[in-house]
Amino acid sequence: MVDCFKPGEAEWVAYGVSVRNYSGDIRSTVAYEELKSLAFNDNEISIDIVTSHSYNRPKLQALIESAGSDNCIVLYSIDSLLVGNKNDGLEYYKRMLDKGVNLIVYNMSGKWARTSDFSISRDELAKNPELKKLKYNALVKYYENKKG
Tens of pLDDT, residue by residue over 90-133, are 999 999 999 888 999 988 776 777 888 999 998 998 899 899 99
6-20, 43-57, 132-146: which has the highest mean pLDDT?
132-146
Any idea of the CA torsion for 54, 55, 58, 60, to the nearest 10 degrees? Answer: 170
Supply the mean pLDDT for the chain: 85
pLDDT above 80 (res 64): yes
Tens of pLDDT, residue by residue over 66-99, are 998 888 999 988 888 887 778 888 999 999 999 8
Mean pLDDT of 3-32: 80
As a whole number of angstroms, the distance between CA 96 and CA 15 comes to 13
Q: Find out whether 113 and 60 touch, Cβ atoms under 8 Å.
A: no
